[in-house]
Amino acid sequence: MSDEPHFRRLALIGVGLIGSSIAWAARRDNLVGEIVCSARTEETRARALELGVVDRAVATSAEAVAGADLVILCTPVGTFGKVAQEIGPHLEPGAIVSDVGSVKKTVVRDVGPHIPDGVHFIPAHPVAGTEQSGPDAGFAELFDQRWCILTPPAGCDPDAQARLAKFWEAMGSRVEIMDAEHHDLVLAITSHVPHLIAYNIVGTADDLEAVTESEVIKYSAGGFRDFTRLAASDPTMWRDVFLNNREAVLEMLGRFSEDLSALQRSIRWADGDALFDLFTRTRTIRRRIIDAGQEVETPDFGRPHGGSDD
Amino acid sequence: MSDEPHFRRLALIGVGLIGSSIAWAARRDNLVGEIVCSARTEETRARALELGVVDRAVATSAEAVAGADLVILCTPVGTFGKVAQEIGPHLEPGAIVSDVGSVKKTVVRDVGPHIPDGVHFIPAHPVAGTEQSGPDAGFAELFDQRWCILTPPAGCDPDAQARLAKFWEAMGSRVEIMDAEHHDLVLAITSHVPHLIAYNIVGTADDLEAVTESEVIKYSAGGFRDFTRLAASDPTMWRDVFLNNREAVLEMLGRFSEDLSALQRSIRWADGDALFDLFTRTRTIRRRIIDAGQEVETPDFGRPHGGSDD
């Protein structure tokens, strides 16, 4: 069994950063017999073939899923309803349909109704990525030691769930099972609000009159540049995330703003002790993230200092 | 001249990340004859000597500056008034007194009055650092290709200013001259507010009841972990920064919050176009920061993926 591919044919709907990384990881670990992807543009299909990411690249998701025993939606979550409608009639009995969307409640709502009986629908979210996008951005190691969250609906087939979990584990991931609603709340604070804040401060800096953009760029090593990484993430994907996780994002954003107001007040009234207490408390969390294998130990993310790369 | 040290004796008041990095860089480039540091605790003095960062380590700043032709204050900015008062009577005629503080207006106010005639006072701020602190954190390459801002007061001796600029350039920095007030405004957006936001979101996440700290840590690779680096910076240093750049920080924070409210409203009312427009605009700035040599090109800050370091 261990030498056998876990799936006969993998269909990737979309072949961007995550789709192409799944393809590379699945090939590396010999997990699938064949990989087919669909992509809207001829350019992306040609590029995916040229890179050798997939065996076949087709224009429609309906074509892609024909004969596939594992289907993974890797397009922005805003497209999922339409994609599900298109593929529904073409899915093989016994196939598993999954996704990689960063929100899960609306995925259940948008995709679920289009999945026919006898096909297993198991939403998933690999918590991994970089700020780059497109088929060129993918690499096999992206999921190594990162968590992949499955949010199986009630009544989900345990064998299908176990097969999908095994697939992700074989790609290097650790797998966690979670309720879709709780997933969206957890990711709002660990991913969505951080991205929103990063986008926001980069926008604020860009709009200043008293400080030039050239100054922002020159002195960005003071801390600002860290935020520009998240703020360089794919705009379509992130628009869809915020439109599809509105409640949880607004809830977490409310708390963030409330805390920021308190901090602002501490600065205005020169409450050094309140500042010092917070700044001391926050150090511990990074230490725990490093200990949990979710962050590098080296200072400054291991950015090179000195030399031509810096 | 090029083989000669630029200064006979360098006195470092404090030997943390920046102080020890100056010492390493000055030694690497043979810029000083002797390095003396002062540190409050016996432990820090012993460690600095053990590491070989300095030639001598003394307990008081008054002792450290005796006979020095270059004095650099490397303690948190909140200590500067007291330090200046202590060293004032012991400064050598013709010496240059500088600092590395992240704010400049209050440094001029707190230090300036204690500098005797015939001693050159030239505030400076190397825009470089990591999240680590203490004498062990320093390294010679920290300033390579980073900007060092000098804010010479009116009437500053041009030769002294040129010597200090040359010293920083020899350590790998690019040097810019700026007005202290403008410096504080520029750094508020490129450094101080980013740190405040990072501290704030880590605090918010730490306080949640619906999401456990263990969940925050596990799924931090979704974006949150990027913020924990700045939020692990030295608490005393950053408390002093906010207490000493109150006006500019509150001004920039006001703009940030205003923009965040607008973004919050876009999410509430599902204005996808507004989100998409901002998310597209912010991509350009990172590109320009990379092109300006202030950020690495490689995805994810060049963090290793896969393998034991990840």
pLDDT in tens, A54-69: 999 999 999 999 999 9
Alpha-carbon distance of B54 to A192, in angstroms, equals 46
Residue A308, pLDDT > 90, answer no
Tell me how close the Cα of A116 comes to any Cα of chain B, in angstroms. Answer: 30
**What pLDDT was estimated at residue A310?**
41
For residue A43, how many other CB atoms are within 10 A of its CB? 10
**What pLDDT was estimated at residue A145?**
96
* Closest by Cα among A205, A190, A144, A200 to A22: A144
Report the residue from A230, A278, A307 with minimal CB separation from B199: A278
pLDDT digit string (tens) for A66-116? 999 999 999 999 999 999 999 999 999 999 999 999 999 999 999 999 999
Beta pairing partners, B72? B12, B98
pLDDT digit string (tens) for A192-218? 999 999 999 999 999 999 999 999 999
H-type helices in A95-209, by residue range?
105-111, 158-170, 180-187, 193-207
Chains A–B, number of C-beta pairs less than 8 Å apart: 391
- Which chain A residues touch B151 with a CB distance below 8 Å? none
SS3 of residue B131 by DSSP: coil
Beta pairing partners, B37? B12, B57
Q: Closest-CA residue in chain A for B264?
A: A250
**What pLDDT was estimated at residue A5?**
58
Residue B310, pLDDT > 70, answer no
Please answer yes or no on whether B186 and A219 come within 8 Å at the CB atom: yes
Angle at B134 between CA B304 and CA B60, to 5 degrees: 165
**What pLDDT was estimated at residue B5?**
57
- pTM metric for this prediction: 0.96
Kindly state the percentage of chain A with pLDDT values over 90: 95
Q: In what order do the strands lie in the sheet with A174-177?
A: A124-126, A147-150, A174-177
CB B56 within 8 A of CB B36: yes
Please answer yes or no on whether A194 and B289 come within 8 Å at the CB atom: no
Please answer yes or no on whether A300 and B187 come within 8 Å at the CB atom: no
CATH match of A182-270 with 1.10.10.10: no
- Which chain A residues touch B230 with a CB distance below 8 Å? 223, 226
What would the mean pLDDT of A115-134 be, rounded to a whole number? 97
Please answer yes or no on whether B243 and A187 come within 8 Å at the CB atom: no
Tell me how close the Cα of B15 comes to any Cα of chain A, in angstroms. Answer: 18
Alpha-carbon distance of B284 to A62, in angstroms, equals 36
Angle at B151 between CA A266 and CA B167, to 5 degrees: 120
Kindly state the percentage of chain A with pLDDT values over 70: 97
Q: Which of A175, A228, A271 to mutate to test the interface with B (most CBs of B within 10 A)?
A: A228
Residue B2, pLDDT > 50, answer no
The helix or strand, by DSSP H or E, that contains position B98, with its residue range, turns out to be strand B96-99
CB A224 within 8 A of CB B190: yes
Instruction: Indicate the CATH number of B182-297 among 1.10.3660.10, 3.20.20.80, 3.40.50.1970, 2.40.110.10.
Output: 1.10.3660.10
- Which chain A residues touch B215 with a CB distance below 8 Å? 186, 190
**What pLDDT was estimated at residue A3?**
40
Alpha-carbon distance of A20 to A9, in angstroms, equals 15
CATH class of B7-178: alpha beta
Please answer yes or no on whether B253 and A246 come within 8 Å at the CB atom: no
Report helix angle A235-244 to A193-207, nearest 10. Answer: 120
Report chain A's mean pLDDT, rounded to a whole number: 95
**What pLDDT was estimated at residue A65?**
98
CB B123 within 8 A of CB B150: yes
> CATH 3.40.50.720 region(s) of chain A?
7-178
Alpha-carbon distance of B119 to B188, in angstroms, equals 30
* Closest by Cα among B25, B19, B20, B17 to B5: B25
Rg of the Cα trace of chain B?
21
Tell me how close the Cα of A159 comes to any Cα of chain B, in angstroms. Answer: 26
Least confident among A77-81, A136-140, B116-120, B209-213: B209-213
The pLDDT confidence band at residue A309, using thresholds 50, 70 and 90, is very low
For residue B156, how many other CB atoms are within 10 A of its CB? 17
**What pLDDT was estimated at residue A1?**
40
* Closest by Cα among B65, B150, B74, B77 to B116: B65
SS3 of residue A154 by DSSP: coil
> CATH 1.10.3660.10 region(s) of chain A?
182-270
**What pLDDT was estimated at residue B4?**
52
Alpha-carbon distance of B164 to B65, in angstroms, equals 17
Q: Which of B286, B297, B298, B308 to mutate to test the interface with A (most CBs of A within 10 A)?
A: B286
Please answer yes or no on whether A235 and B276 come within 8 Å at the CB atom: yes
What would the mean pLDDT of A261-287 be, rounded to a whole number? 97
Report the residue from A191, A224, A239 with minimal CB separation from B223: A191
* Closest by Cα among A192, A203, A211, A167 to A6: A167
Residue B108, pLDDT > 90, answer yes
- Which chain B residues touch A207 with a CB distance below 8 Å? 255, 259
The ipTM, to two decimals, is 0.95
Residue A42, pLDDT > 90, answer yes
**What pLDDT was estimated at residue A307?**
55
For residue A210, how many other CB atoms are within 10 A of its CB? 13
What would the mean pLDDT of B43-62 be, rounded to a whole number? 98
Sequence-distant (6+) residues with CB within 8 A of A217 are: B285, B288, B289, B292, B294
Retrieve residue A236's tokens: 């379509």
SS3 of residue B8 by DSSP: strand
Q: Which of A125, A144, A184, A199 to mutate to test the interface with B (most CBs of B within 10 A)?
A: A199
> CATH 1.10.3660.10 region(s) of chain B?
182-297
**What pLDDT was estimated at residue B305?**
87
Q: How far, in Å, are A33, A282, B236, B242 from residue A273 at the CA level?
A: 61, 14, 10, 12
Q: How far is CA A134 from the centre of its chain?
A: 13
CB A176 within 8 A of CB A150: yes
Report chain B's mean pLDDT, rounded to a whole number: 95
Report helix angle A272-291 to B235-244, nearest 10. Answer: 140
Tell me how close the Cα of B104 comes to any Cα of chain A, in angstroms. Answer: 15
Please answer yes or no on whether A283 and B225 come within 8 Å at the CB atom: no
**What pLDDT was estimated at residue B306?**
75
The helix or strand, by DSSP H or E, that contains position B34, with its residue range, turns out to be strand B32-38
